[in-house]
Amino acid sequence: MNDAASSPASSFTPKIEFWFDFGSNYSYLSVMRIEALAAAHGVRIGWRPFLLGPVFRDLGFDNSPFVLQKEKGAYVWKDMERQCRKYGIALTRPTTFPRAALLAMRVALLGADRPWIAAYCRKIMQLNFADDRDIGSIEVVSEALDELGLPARQIIADAQSDANKLRLREQTAAAAAKGIFGAPTFFVGEEMFWGNDRLDDALEYGESQRAARPA
């Protein structure tokens, strides 16, 4: 056996924590791209759904800054059009923004370590930002799960359990404790990267951690 191939450095797989909210427009861009990019960099993903609303409220905002600040909001949607063209991602500005997605988020938390999490997150984001559907409804979440061939009724029941509801509140509190103030946010170890435009930097940093480990 090749000693280099079996060394701790070569077998180590860096991890990126991906903190996101389905109501976040820039999280949409990252959700649609991260799985393929992480695989290309040899980095595994830790999916970390959290509720951005409570974080904003703790910071003194009763809504998204993109709503509260008219000029910023106008810029952001123009920027979203440009970014979606760049990445080849469909975009329909939601008629409700930010759209409440509590059930969808609870399902994401339940499935965070399951094989279907990436496909589920992409589907929910497409329903929100491409199809302008109400991703907070049982009907739409059930539809997303059904299309993925998953047992929608059981997953939704589990997601709505008291224990899972508490876990989402705790995960949101953990986000605030880590200093997260927006979404998407990425962590590689203790290094924080904020915003879709820092996804590539976060992945490159994660990839560099493998090379930095002693053989």
Contact 9, 211 (CB under 8 A): yes
CA 72 to chain centre: 22
- What backbone phi and psi angles, to 5 degrees, belong to 201? -60, -45
Are 104 and 31 within 8 A, CB to CB? no
pLDDT confidence of residue 84: 98
Rounded mean pLDDT of the chain?
A: 92
**Lowest-confidence pick of 2-16, 29-43, 68-82, 133-147:** 2-16
Side by side, which strands form the sheet with 185-188? 44-49, 15-20, 185-188, 191-194
Per-residue pLDDT of 156-183, as tens digits, reads 999 999 999 999 999 999 999 999 999 9
Q: Over the stretch 102-117, which tens digit does the pLDDT of each residue have?
A: 999 999 999 999 999 9
Q: Which of 6, 24, 137, 208 is catalytic?
A: 24
In this predicted structure, the answer to whether residue 212 has a pLDDT above a threshold of 80 is no
Asked if CATH classification 1.10.275.10 holds for the domain at 14-212, the reply, yes or no, is: no
> Is pLDDT at 5 greater than 60 in this prediction?
no
Is residue 90 pLDDT above 80, yes or no? yes
Reply yes or no on whether the pLDDT at 85 is more than 80: yes
Tell me, yes or no, if 64 is annotated catalytic: no
Q: Where are the alpha helices (DSSP H) in 42-132?
A: 52-58, 65-68, 70-87, 102-110, 117-129
Domain-wise residue ranges, the chain = 14-212
